[in-house]
Structure 1
């Protein structure tokens, strides 16, 4: 692996870390402004992002870099003044983190690509937990009409 590739991977790690710092800031704000089931989901997301942040800091340190500290605050695209806006912000955060990890998925190092793919999978899964409706099993396929309640005969082989 050449030095330029290492520099590129280090920059990708820094961007993913910056996304995690921003997500932690916003989820901390959301946790203080929500309650019930939504707060439980937000707390779980906060914990997951904190673990990812710590892993990224470790990756940067073991590669000889110095991880950036979080900013004191981050600009939010809007203020989450109710549960609907809190969910909208959580979705925005997960999309941002996914984008940062998508860039890391192009890292030179295979272990970083694998790590990024798993982190993206987790972020997308988390985002669906915040959505009010679940996606269709096969997006784009027409929804089949409800089957009649009569029992369907079991297929058998000829002669049986």
Structure 2
């Protein structure tokens, strides 16, 4: 199966897109980490989240390559913002990973006028906000939804 051709990223948006790519790498890693602590009832949601982040990562990497820019590579490992030891801490860390991705994609929106890139960033911000809300709700956090998704804390 061939991948669709990627559209180059405007030069003034590269840094923000690289930061978003870093957030995608971290989210993918986090989904792998927490899968060891969550029961099978979370498998569908975990797979959906990880698959979405992988697809977004792949799209960003193709676009950066089309821009003659080397994509930021994933770290070997990431340090979660809090220890992950059980279901509750796993759900909290997933919500944080989604929030971090939303913040990164909001930054892309703030750093581009390119219509296609803005559409991609808005879709990414929205899907991360929705998943983050689901993870906070599953973890019993209140409020489950944030007022301004993607707003840095």
TM-score, with length taken from structure 1: 0.76
Displacement of 1:33 after TM fit? 2.5
Decide which of 14, 25, 39 is 1:21's aligned counterpart.
25
| RMSD across aligned positions (CA) | 2.1
Offset from partner CA, 1:41-75 (integer Å, 9 cap, x none): 12221111111110111111111111121110111
Offset from partner CA, 1:6-58 (integer Å, 9 cap, x none): 33211111010000011111111111322222233122211111111101111
Aligned positions of 1:1-160 closer than 5 A: 6-106=10-110, 107-130=112-135, 131-132=137-138
Larger Rg: 1
Displacement of 1:135 after TM fit? 7.4
Structure 1 runs of 4+ aligned residues shifted over 3 Å read 132-136
Offset from partner CA, 1:105-153 (integer Å, 9 cap, x none): 12131211111001111111112222136979xx9xxxxxxxxxxxxxx
**SS of equivalent to 1:33:** coil
- Please list every run of 5 or more consecutive structure 1 residues that lacks an aligned counterpart in the other structure: 140-160
Aligned residues: 133
- Please list every run of 5 or more consecutive structure 2 residues that lacks an aligned counterpart in the other structure: 1-8, 148-153
TM-score, with length taken from structure 2: 0.79
